[in-house]
Amino acid sequence: MPMQERFLVDVNLSTVPLFKTRCLVIGSGIAGLSAALAAAARGQVILAAKSDFMESNTAYAQGGVAAALGDDDEVDLHIEDTLKAGGGLCDPAAVRLLAVEGRKRCLELIDLGVEFDRVDGKISFTREGAHSRRRVIHADGDATGRAISRTLLQAVRNHPNILGLENQFAIDLLHENGNCRGALFLDTRYGRYTRVEAGVTVMASGGLGQIFRETTNPAVATADGYAMCFRAGAELCDMEFIQFHPTTLYLAGAPRFLISEAVRGEGGFLINRAGERFMKRYSEAAELSPRDVVSQSIFKELAATGDTCVYLDVSRLDPELVARRFPTILSVCADYGVNLPRDPIPVRPAAHYMMGGVVTDMNAATRVRNLYAAGEVAFTGVHGANRLASNSLLEGLVFGHRAGKAEPGADAGFGPAALRKRLPAHGTRLDIDDITRSLKSLTWRNLGAYRNAAALSETIEKLKAWSSYVLAEEFHMRPGFEAQNMLTTARLMVESALRRNESRGAHQRTDFPETSAAWARHNLISLNDPE
Ligand code: SIN
């Protein structure tokens, strides 16, 4: 997909205020915070986020962190479950590293002060889909991500080597000749540009759920890191694999609020409007099948019944358990008149997590020198075609930490990194809300759980047409940049989905319903790929 390499703005960098640091971390989710803390042991760090530091996908994570810490558990079982869920595309070495180092990093979180829930003094484990053991540790019931973010953020704020900059939207990486030297930011409160030059840059900017009409992701998840790294020459991989979480609250006017998989792990089950427990018809493991299987089964059930949602029935659960384990879910449901455990929760799948991303090695290095990536934006090979539940916070912890240990290369430093001139702006009057709304509808229709060549090709043509004027615009404001990043990343996803002529994991092609041995491989995409 030959797309032009250029930056989103044309500024004279010499006029832009400059910060210099050994390490720049972009993003304040679990990967960014872990990277910042690891890097701070080695020198100065700037941690920048586009909103406030608590606003990230991590802070909304409910279920928990998967780690083989239980008496009946073993690292090898965690590895086996991860590989099985990943549909043949996980990198076994990366998965081993995840499971082994993940345990260590979780114990460090406890030392740092994260209070994982306990029963009789012992850490309590919950079950989620496709785990062979109760393996998922959690905090504050269903507010695990918030508890972890709070503790890591406190450590970051207390660290003398870390300068935190909130409300800094990263527009583009500063790079030259395949070498990254930091990033250009827009201070979204004052509308001013800032330049951060760094020996090492860690992209930990999170996910892209906002590309879709229905998503569990917060408003900040607008694909910025994928698009920035792509423009800087990094390789991306397996961008067709977007995970749909099976159960998000589905009520007119309510947010697409996640109803944690742990609710099913604790005994909740899915019923259709007639009250029938339908999952058994689709999969032996029923509600605790891998996430791709549950989401696809719900879509099939909806198609068969003509309904718009199914229901999560928790009426058999002990009310005390529901209140203790799921206080946030209980309270949000109550806000919309759904009283748990009595009432069934109306749910349907929504875009949740990108398994693909910016290709990194085991040390989180991308192919752009001195540029590292960690967390959802990165592709480490641990998730394959379908991520095992609660492996994402773990991945952020493990690879964020590794990224933070990176040493600047010989050619790192504060040189004349440049922004290449972009095309002159068209000066078109653009309704950015309309662009993002149109994009979300298009992707939901054509890049959802089921795809086919005709719909994907139509989507590419539309994205090309919209990009021809939207990417030519110079916005100088966050929503415009976000729309550009989402358009670019959506195009990467659709091109990748069109290439993969098979069905596997989260990528289901109605025109290629079988899994193909020829496609037991990764799907790379980068600038200047032949069309
Ligand atoms: C959940 O609580 O269901 C989400 C956990 C995850 O995405 O792994």
State the pLDDT at residue 6. 60
Instruction: Report the CATH number that the domain containing residue 42 is assigned in CATH.
Output: 3.50.50.60
| 425-472 confidence digits (pLDDT tens) | 555 678 999 999 999 999 999 999 999 999 999 999 999 999 999 998
Tokens 């967390």 belong to which residue?
Answer: 375
Any catalytic annotation for residue 500? no
Task: Kindly state if the Cβ of 162 falls inside 6 Å of ligand 1.
Answer: no
- 9 falls within a domain: no
Cβ burial of 421 (10 Å; 0-12, 13-18, 19+) is exposed
Domain match, 45 and 146 both: yes
- 187 falls within a domain: yes
State the pLDDT at residue 11. 76
State the pLDDT at residue 529. 79
User: Which entry of 127, 135, 291, 369 is annotated as an active-site residue?
Assistant: 291
Domain match, 369 and 446 both: no
Band (pLDDT 50/70/90 cuts) for residue 476 is confident
Structurally, the chain folds into a number of domains equal to 3
| 230-257 confidence digits (pLDDT tens) | 999 999 999 999 999 999 999 999 989 9
- 414 falls within a domain: no
| 161-205 confidence digits (pLDDT tens) | 999 999 999 999 999 889 999 999 999 999 999 999 999 999 999
Q: What is the span of the domain harbouring residue 158?
A: 20-241+355-404
How far is ligand 1, taken at its centre, from the CA of residue 357, in Å?
19
Torsion angle, alpha carbons of 289, 291, 295, 298, to 10:
20
Band (pLDDT 50/70/90 cuts) for residue 18 is confident
Is the bond preceding residue 341 a cis peptide, omega within 30 degrees?
Answer: yes
Q: Above pLDDT 70, what percent of the chain? A: 95
Pocket test for ligand 1, best of 62, 140, 376 (most atoms within 8 A of CB): 62
DSSP category for residue 344: P
Structure token pair of residue 328: 């946030």
| 324-378 confidence digits (pLDDT tens) | 999 999 999 999 999 999 999 999 999 999 999 999 999 999 999 999 999 999 9
- Confirm if 202 and 396 have CB atoms less than 8 A apart: no
Instruction: Report the CATH number that the domain containing residue 470 is assigned in CATH.
Output: 1.20.58.100
Report the distance separating Cα 452 and Cα 24, nearest Å: 41
3-state secondary structure of 200: strand
| 198-216 confidence digits (pLDDT tens) | 999 999 999 999 999 999 9
Mean pLDDT of 404-420: 75
Domain match, 155 and 287 both: no
Instruction: Report the CATH number that the domain containing residue 303 is assigned in CATH.
Output: 3.90.700.10
Task: Kindly state if the Cβ of 62 falls inside 6 Å of ligand 1.
Answer: yes
Q: Above pLDDT 90, what percent of the chain? A: 89
CB atoms under 10 Å from CB of 2, counted, come to 9
Average pLDDT, the chain: 94
Which residue would you say has higher pLDDT here, 61 or 2?
61
- Confirm if 528 and 2 have CB atoms less than 8 A apart: yes
* Chain Cα centroid distance, residue 342: 33
State the pLDDT at residue 427. 59
Domain match, 163 and 25 both: yes
Alpha helix stretches (DSSP H) within 361-514: 392-404, 432-446, 453-470, 478-499
Kind and range of the H or E element at 153? helix 144-158
Band (pLDDT 50/70/90 cuts) for residue 122 is very high
* Domain end call among 306, 321, 349: 349
Pocket test for ligand 1, best of 392, 395, 397 (most atoms within 8 A of CB): 392
State the pLDDT at residue 64. 95
Q: Which residues contact 40 (CB under 8 A, 6 or more apart)?
A: 156, 159, 161, 162, 404
Domain match, 236 and 367 both: yes
The structure's pTM equals 0.95
Report the distance separating Cα 418 and Cα 53, nearest Å: 28
Alpha helix stretches (DSSP H) within 274-346: 291-305, 319-325, 327-335
DSSP category for residue 409: P
- 419 falls within a domain: no
DSSP category for residue 368: S
